Structure 1
Amino acid sequence: MQLSQSQQIAFDKFKLGHNIFISGPGGHGKTHLINEFHKTGNVALCAMTGCAAGVLHKKARTIHSWSGIKLGKGSRSEIVADLSKSAIQNWKSAKILVIDEVSMLSADIFELLNHVSQTVRKNELPFGGIQLVFSGDFYQLPPFGSDCKFCFESPLWSTLFASDCHIELKENFRQTDPVFQRLLNNLRTGSLTQEDIQLLKCRMNCNPSVDLATAKLFPKKKTCRGD
């Protein structure tokens, strides 16, 4: 598959060695673009969860596992002292680090990863001089914990990612119906119009003629369990 215009802009920035943040709704080619990055050479692929890592690439790992920080608990000096040999080698050999689903990356863990990288690599540059590719959609899952800040709220963010390296992918590869695309985009941003609501209501079928074992979606686990 050829790269779209916005994907190509991101790829060109990547090839020039810039740190880049790639955003955009689902279906806009973030995963495909990351796999194109991976083909170029020494790229460590990580994600915030095991499920996200599995979707990203068969060799991808969670950032907590790859980096050796585990749950990120304890003082920074304790975490560095407890790093495994393999984690230390990961940091020392890394040229490019990709982290997917960064909406779930808290400011605290972001800054911890920076400290670990600088310490292990003995390099005071941000992230010890490693080129970074962050990917995700901040309209999706936030960091775990009610008092956690997003990674972009850390002062470190603007140090690493220049404004012209914030790249939003524009082309939708998953949906072709413009009406459905608009509906999904409005749902994503919480800005449904009355037209959108009526469109959803017209698709409701309260008395289906066929007895189907249909899937039911709920926003919370306790609702799924019937609590």
Structure 2
Amino acid sequence: MSVTELENSLERMSLSIADAQQNFESLKQSIRKHFQTPVIVVNNKIVEEIKLTDEQQKIYDEVVAKLGNLENDPLYLYVCGPAGTGKSVLLSELYKKINRRFENGCKIVAPTGIAALNVDGSTVHSVFKLDPYGTTYDENPFAFDMNTKVIIIDEISMVDATLFARIDNRLKTKFNNDEPFGGCSIIVFGDLMQLEPVFDKTNKSFVFQEIPSNTPFHNGLKNQLWNLFKFAELTDNRRTTDVKEANVLKLIRTGEYEDAKNDNFFENKQCLKDLPAFIDEGDAAFKKFKELRTDANNLIILAATNEIVDFINLQGLFELPGDAYLYKKQKIPYAHYARVVSNDIEHLRVKIGSPVMLTCNIDVKRGLVNGLIGKVSNCEEDGITVSFPSIGNDVKIERQNWQKNGKGPIYAQFPLRLATAITIHKSQGITVDSVLFVTADLFANNHFYTAISRAKSLKNSWITRYRDDMIKTSGESRAEIDRMRTEAALFELAPVME
């Protein structure tokens, strides 16, 4: 009997509570027999029950202890932790527990499509109907389950202060409640030492900082919403059992790493070690990629800029056998709707077998989100069929209407780009077996740590070149984590206890 059949069986039951419990115990025993795992039911869905670590269990128990009094005492919690410490596991278990306590009482959102997919959630902008390029009050009507008690936001490092304020404003309006976030409890997950929000020149503000003066949410104070949040921290790296590797990642994250002081960990992981500076790093990375890739090894090339990524992706395209299919963007005389983009692809070239990435959210519920990676399996004039392993099926992708920066002519083009290599920004939140990291042109804080920590293990991971000055971290983010950690310790409080 499959899990789906068991779920359908649950839905058909119209028995007394005692009989239903007896039948459900029988169903659970059947699942344990077939799948060798404990199970629970959430919203009529049979899901696996996970064994938490001591750190995770402590935070879990403290959140659960607060659930009985959320209306009078809303919960505001930041769960911090480096890559690999089990934030997503804890998030999932809290979601299941809250929805067992309150039917449809918990909603998960994230700032990007791929981040939302990773935690079975939705994007912030789709849930709250936010203009992706807006910084003012949002007035579009939006459907929202009024039973929602708790909202979980993942990848909080990529949420800026203005977006945080817009979420607060939408919830206040929806619930007709002037309390923070309309009275909803908020749990945020993420690592402020990973990727920062995408800033423009006039709107730079971390989630914990003052809201920019060019928005209506500005009040001249440090972010009062963020000051509501208590601090909880996960520190045990569950992704690697190698103590040395875990220590290297820890030091890189905080900006304290020096290769010479750590047995030259990266000395033999450089593709271009001892080669002249003029050797192209993108070219070297692709040659190493061809040497390392296997069907069993989930290896990806990461780079900081689109220029490097595009160069490597063209090399990957030329290496594939068969003919390339060229798709030119088509001008549309009139359209009711067009996606606003900052750049578009005038000519898309793919082959059968090309790794590609979706560049917009098509259907979040089906998992077709911005950043999803698959392989081209068929090319036709009206569509490109892509096999997406993470959602388990082939999907025919059709052209989408685009308008650059919301102005000018509207074009139709397939929302795909080659993905032998991807930018570090697109990699936030994903986990692969190993990475091949092009270290040229790093321009943002936490680039090095975010890229290298995507790998399950550094044993089979490579970089093009290494210098200690490549490791740059955000002093502001580090100071904020230190402040919250110190404050929690100073008052000798469990992170969510009053």
TM above 0.5: yes
> May I ask how many residue pairs the two structures share in their alignment?
213
Q: CA deviation at 1:197?
A: 6.8
* Partner of residue 178 from structure 2, selected from 101, 105, 124: 124
* Partner of residue 208 from structure 2, selected from 140, 149, 152: 152
What is the match of residue 73 of structure 1? Answer: 134
* Partner of residue 49 from structure 1, selected from 108, 112, 131: 112
1:4 aligns with 2:53: yes
Distance in 1, matches of 2:199 and 2:309, equals 22
Distance in 1, matches of 2:261 and 2:191, equals 25
- Check conservation: 2:135, 2:163, Cα contact below 8 A: no
Q: Which amino acid aligns with 2:249?
A: L
* Partner of residue 255 from structure 2, selected from 187, 190, 203: 190
Structure ID, larger Rg: 2
- Check conservation: 1:72, 1:109, Cα contact below 8 A: no
* Partner of residue 88 from structure 2, selected from 31, 42, 45: 31
Q: CA deviation at 1:213?
A: 5.2
Identical residues among aligned pairs (%) = 26
**Could you report, residue by residue, the CA deviation over 1:154-180 in whole angstroms, capped at 9, with x for unpaired residues?**
22111x21xxx3111011110111100
What is the match of residue 22 of structure 1? Answer: 79
Distance in 2, matches of 1:74 and 1:179, equals 44
The answer for unaligned runs of 5 or more in structure 1 is: none
Distance in 2, matches of 1:47 and 1:135, equals 10
Q: CA deviation at 1:205?
A: 6.0
Distance in 1, matches of 2:243 and 2:265, equals 13
What is the match of residue 152 of structure 2? Answer: 98
Q: What is the TM-score with the length of structure 2 in the denominator?
A: 0.40
What is the match of residue 122 of structure 2? Answer: 61
- Check conservation: 2:135, 2:162, Cα contact below 8 A: no
* Partner of residue 108 from structure 1, selected from 144, 162, 173: 162
1:217 aligns with 2:275: no
The verdict on how the C-alpha distance between 1:72 and 1:131 changes in structure 2, with shifts beyond 3 A counting, is farther
- Check conservation: 1:10, 1:20, Cα contact below 8 A: no
Distance in 2, matches of 1:217 and 1:191, equals 23
- Check conservation: 2:110, 2:153, Cα contact below 8 A: yes
* Partner of residue 166 from structure 1, selected from 203, 215, 231: 231
- Check conservation: 1:13, 1:20, Cα contact below 8 A: no
Q: CA deviation at 1:83?
A: 1.9
Distance in 2, matches of 1:37 and 1:206, equals 45
Is the deviation greater in 168-177 or in 183-192? 183-192
Specify the SS of the correspondent of 2:107: strand
Distance in 2, matches of 1:99 and 1:72, equals 20
The verdict on how the C-alpha distance between 1:205 and 1:141 changes in structure 2, with shifts beyond 3 A counting, is closer
Q: CA deviation at 1:216?
A: 4.2
Distance in 1, matches of 2:180 and 2:248, equals 40
Q: Which structure is higher in RCO with an 8 Å CA cutoff and minimum separation 6?
A: 1
**Could you report, residue by residue, the CA deviation over 1:97-121 in whole angstroms, capped at 9, with x for unpaired residues?**
0010010111011111111111221
**Could you report, residue by residue, the CA deviation over 1:194-225 in whole angstroms, capped at 9, with x for unpaired residues?**
223712103446699xx715554322221223
**Could you report, residue by residue, the CA deviation over 1:48-98 in whole angstroms, capped at 9, with x for unpaired residues?**
1110111112xx10011111223262641xx13x123x2xx33x3321100
Q: Which amino acid aligns with 1:190?
A: G
Is the deviation greater in 99-108 or in 143-152? 143-152
Distance in 2, matches of 1:179 and 1:7, equals 23
The verdict on how the C-alpha distance between 1:199 and 1:61 changes in structure 2, with shifts beyond 3 A counting, is same
The verdict on how the C-alpha distance between 1:74 and 1:179 changes in structure 2, with shifts beyond 3 A counting, is closer
The verdict on how the C-alpha distance between 1:134 and 1:74 changes in structure 2, with shifts beyond 3 A counting, is closer
Specify the SS of the correspondent of 1:222: helix
Specify the SS of the correspondent of 1:152: coil
Q: What is the TM-score with the length of structure 1 in the denominator?
A: 0.84
Q: Which amino acid aligns with 1:156?
A: L
Specify the SS of the correspondent of 2:245: helix
